[in-house]
Structure 1
Amino acid sequence: MKIFDVISQIEQEILVSNNNYKINIDKDCTDITTMYQNIKSSSVFILKASNRSKIYAEKAISKNPILILTNMEPNSLDDIKCDIPVIYLSNYESAINKLVHLFYDKYIESLKFIAVTGTNGKTTTSHMVGKILSKLDKRVAVVGTLGVYDSKFNKINFDHTTPTTPMHIEFAEIIKYFAEKNYDYIVYEATSIALDQKRVNFIYNELAIFTNFSSEHLEYHHTLENYLEAKLKLNALSKKSIVNYDSKEYRKIAYDRYHFSNDQKNDMYYKYSIKENKLSIWINGNAYQINIALNGIHNYINLAISIIAIHKLNFDIKNILEVVKYIKPPENRFEIFKIREFEFILDFAHTPLAINESISEAIKYSSKKKKS
């Protein structure tokens, strides 16, 4: 790759360049990075404006990259001793997504992607979808809150500076890793913040899964309307979407009846019900019973969503149900363990709705144990 190719790719985003040093457009460039720690002499460093930008710029300059791209105010690095060309950008998100395409497109295009969003259930649903597809002989990686997992559900160590959806180039490196191993799918959690920051705009998903919706992350989004709008952006990034029709906020992207509901009165193609820890699913009126022992009603709900989502990807329901009996939730999702004579429930919840549900399910579990 030449510096000419990099500059040509982001031509529309170039605001101004530091003309003190001429850019050698014929120079070879091996990679792009937003982490100054990863800079090589053949790297282009991309610096996002923040209150620590100058500190990061100084650290980057000491490693001598070929070029610095930044959305800081034009000429704001002029007071730093620097003999490296600097290009100032008008739109950081647009530029970095274009550069990810330039450097990683062949890897991105070799994989299929399933994105899971929603206020609750993203982690469990992602892992259940990944486990079912793996049992269906697909090579699947899962990316999200718990980290990055391969198709055997071994955790892989990656630089992962955000707790759920990786940043642009971090995610691209994860994609490259699994593409080179001939994987079929990556299932990932798409948070509202990541969607608002356009971290996954370089991905076109086979399927987007919308689990549920309630108030969350208002310290970032400020209003519930902004939070919802961020979630809904995933629909435009996906070939198909499967929506929880019981979350009324998502109905604006449910253009047909091929979504799911727990309300038997809704005319949805997919329906499910959970009674006494028995999961039933209806697909276009045909009923299927799933006999599997799980703890916590939310794990049954997320399993139902996972089955429905995979069926919407055109996998045969009989094959799905054959492997589902081996599926368990990820760790810390209503996980029960004993220490001496005491029994503990470990569950993860981060919204008032989810916390109330976890407590309620724990009380139900305790009552059953007492009766037995």
Structure 2
Amino acid sequence: MNKLSLIKPIIKTNVFDKCFISSITDDSRDVQKNSLFVARHGIGSHGNEYIDEAIQRGASCIISDQSFEKEKDIPIYFLNNLEDQILAILFRFHELIEDNFIFHGVTGTNGKTTTAFMAHNIMRGLKRPSIYIGTIGAYINDELTQTKGNTTPGIFELFEILKHFNLQKTIYVFLEISSHALEQKRLGILPFFQTILLNIQSDHLDYHKTYANYINAKLSITNLNNKNPTIIFIDKIKDLLGSLSSDQEKKLSTSEFLSAKDSSAMYKYSVDHYPDESSKIDLDFPNIKLSIHASSFLKFNIENYISAITLISKHLSLTDLNDLDNTAINLPQGRGEILSLKNRKILIDFAHDNLSFHNILSELANSFNEIIVVFGCGGDRDKTKRPKMMKAAQDFASKVFFTSDNNRYESFSSIALDAMQGNNHTGVEIIEDRQEAIRSALQHLNKENILVILGKGHETDMDTLGKKVPFNDKDCILKIMGNEIN
């Protein structure tokens, strides 16, 4: 089918009348025969620089928001307000109805994946069509689809996912939104029904350069095309409140708060934890006042569960929540995932900063006399986190195995040196090969302790010197231990 007729009312030109268009992309690497290539601003470059490549790959026509003086063998149309029209073009091109999609966005240094995935799972538990898109890929209802690998896809890749859900009904979409995506305005003017900011802790300074820039990026979620005010988990950014700029405070003033401490917050809650490791959650929301008994989550995921309910609370009734079986709500792979080995425990988690280390290990310290930790620090990334992560691990673990975690182009010895700076070497073994580090740690596992493997979670490869080498923590354990995992 020639899709030109679908978008012609928007672009309003006859330039493409002799073109056949079967696909659309803003990435020259994805151009196929008869693609419409959309040349727009990218990160540090413009799509016009890739027009020749797009033509070589088979593009039949090109739209750009920058004039292009050189004549080409295919028509190029200049559209001055291209960014304002992209959303309409994509909905029309993929024959989707905008009002059918209810978009939700989740950002925060920690908890994005679990919160967005839980919200998606709650909707699936209520038998509602739902899409999750984030770090672990894309779930279209209950089926996992791989993405290009970014936590937050670009707007064109997003619509490649949405097109599989061309139904005449309401579809709930849950997007993890990274600080990079916010900084780059990757999602354009996508309309969000509800967004939430979970927390802010120094991260990705290799990209943002300063903590202030990172804070600005996270708070810019309030600037998205939001139908409702962004919800901010205010308890989790209380340490920042005294140092925010006037512009940052203004962003807070336009938001609504989730809190266990602030009685004036729009969304209030309290949690009681019981000796049997279950919890009672009391919610006091504008449209929901309810007590929920939760027994299937570790304590550090209870707040993610509350955040997920907060995010979708405007879609829920008391009946929905009373009928919901929270034991059926799945956590994403590699997030608080517990393996049992003949009454011995192994926990795998994606945690990769000192705060998330503390949250997990401090809770486990209440249940286990001894904790063994395996972790590494990413190469060519924020070096300031490394000694803090080691300190957090040593605060709770009797034995720490420091190993590789996506060294990229940085030497492991340099990463290890940074991690040990200012920290005690007692109880620390440094083993570059992650499989060997896990093998050594397993030798210390018994019925009284727990092995905690942090940093990679769901990831299925190791990034070293530009090569992606297959590796997954859970698969590694299964390979070493065979059928002993329950």
- Please tell me the TM-score bracket, short chain as reference: 0.7 to 0.9
| Superposed displacement of residue 131, structure 1 | 1.1
- The change in CA–CA distance for 1:83 and 1:166 in structure 2 (over 3 A counts) is same
Residues in 2 aligned to 1:206 and 1:320: alpha-carbon distance in whole angstroms: 20
Q: What is the one-letter code of the residue matched to 2:62?
A: I
- The change in CA–CA distance for 1:292 and 1:85 in structure 2 (over 3 A counts) is same
| Superposed displacement of residue 170, structure 1 | 0.7
Alignment partner, residue 260 of structure 1: 258
Alignment partner, residue 29 of structure 1: 21
Alignment partner, residue 199 of structure 1: 186
Q: What is the one-letter code of the residue matched to 1:272?
A: Y
Residues in 2 aligned to 1:94 and 1:297: alpha-carbon distance in whole angstroms: 44
| Superposed displacement of residue 140, structure 1 | 1.0
Residues in 1 aligned to 2:201 and 2:294: alpha-carbon distance in whole angstroms: 28
Give the conservation status (yes or no) of the 8 Å contact 2:281–2:294: no
SS in 2 for 1:366: coil
Residues in 1 aligned to 2:170 and 2:10: alpha-carbon distance in whole angstroms: 31
| Superposed displacement of residue 166, structure 1 | 0.9
Question: Structure 1 length as normaliser, TM-score?
Answer: 0.78
State yes or no: 1:65 paired with 2:54.
no
- The change in CA–CA distance for 1:251 and 1:364 in structure 2 (over 3 A counts) is farther
For 1:197-239, what per-residue CA distance to the aligned partner results, in whole angstroms no more than 9, with x for missing partners?
A: 2222242111112211222222222233332333333334221
For 1:232-266, what per-residue CA distance to the aligned partner results, in whole angstroms no more than 9, with x for missing partners?
A: 33334221232212224686445589531021x43
SS in 1 for 2:366: helix
SS in 2 for 1:142: strand
Give the conservation status (yes or no) of the 8 Å contact 1:141–1:148: yes
Alignment equivalent of 1:244, drawn from 214, 217, 233: 233
Question: What 5-or-longer segments of structure 2 have no aligned partner?
Answer: 242-247, 371-446, 450-486
Alignment partner, residue 320 of structure 2: 319
Residues in 1 aligned to 2:206 and 2:215: alpha-carbon distance in whole angstroms: 14
| Superposed displacement of residue 94, structure 1 | 5.3
Residues in 1 aligned to 2:364 and 2:334: alpha-carbon distance in whole angstroms: 13
Give the conservation status (yes or no) of the 8 Å contact 2:290–2:318: no
Residues in 1 aligned to 2:61 and 2:285: alpha-carbon distance in whole angstroms: 56
Q: What is the one-letter code of the residue matched to 1:364?
A: N
| Superposed displacement of residue 188, structure 1 | 1.3
| Superposed displacement of residue 280, structure 1 | 2.2
Q: What is the one-letter code of the residue matched to 2:263?
A: N
Question: Structure 2 length as normaliser, TM-score?
Answer: 0.62
SS in 2 for 1:106: coil
**Which range is displaced more, 317-326 or 160-169?**
317-326
Alignment of 1:1-372 (within 5 A): 1-2=3-4, 9=11, 23-25=15-17, 27-36=19-28, 38-47=30-39, 57-69=51-63, 83-86=73-76, 96-97=86-87, 99-101=89-91, 103-104=93-94, 106-151=96-141, 153-157=142-146, 160-180=147-167, 182=169, 184-235=171-222, 236-240=224-228, 241-246=230-235, 247-248=237-238, 252-255=250-253, 259-263=257-261, 265-276=262-273, 277=277, 278-283=279-284, 288-311=290-313, 313-326=314-327, 327-340=329-342, 342-367=344-369, 370=448
Residues in 2 aligned to 1:181 and 1:7: alpha-carbon distance in whole angstroms: 22
- The change in CA–CA distance for 1:307 and 1:103 in structure 2 (over 3 A counts) is same
Residues in 1 aligned to 2:8 and 2:180: alpha-carbon distance in whole angstroms: 27
- The change in CA–CA distance for 1:283 and 1:295 in structure 2 (over 3 A counts) is closer
| Superposed displacement of residue 103, structure 1 | 2.7
Residues in 2 aligned to 1:36 and 1:59: alpha-carbon distance in whole angstroms: 6
Residues in 1 aligned to 2:227 and 2:102: alpha-carbon distance in whole angstroms: 11
Count the aligned residue pairs: 352
Give the conservation status (yes or no) of the 8 Å contact 1:334–1:345: yes
- The change in CA–CA distance for 1:238 and 1:224 in structure 2 (over 3 A counts) is same
Q: What is the one-letter code of the residue matched to 1:260?
A: L
**Root-mean-square deviation (Å):** 3.7
Q: What is the one-letter code of the residue matched to 1:366?
A: F
| Superposed displacement of residue 364, structure 1 | 2.9
| Superposed displacement of residue 134, structure 1 | 1.7
Give the conservation status (yes or no) of the 8 Å contact 1:245–1:251: no
Q: What is the one-letter code of the residue matched to 2:138?
A: V
For 1:62-89, what per-residue CA distance to the aligned partner results, in whole angstroms no more than 9, with x for missing partners?
A: 23312234578955xx5xx952344678
Give the conservation status (yes or no) of the 8 Å contact 1:107–1:176: no
| Superposed displacement of residue 136, structure 1 | 1.9
- The change in CA–CA distance for 1:102 and 1:139 in structure 2 (over 3 A counts) is closer
Highest RCO, 1 vs 2 (Cα 8 Å, sep ≥ 6): 1
Give the conservation status (yes or no) of the 8 Å contact 2:196–2:231: yes
Residues in 2 aligned to 1:154 and 1:95: alpha-carbon distance in whole angstroms: 31
Residues in 2 aligned to 1:199 and 1:176: alpha-carbon distance in whole angstroms: 19
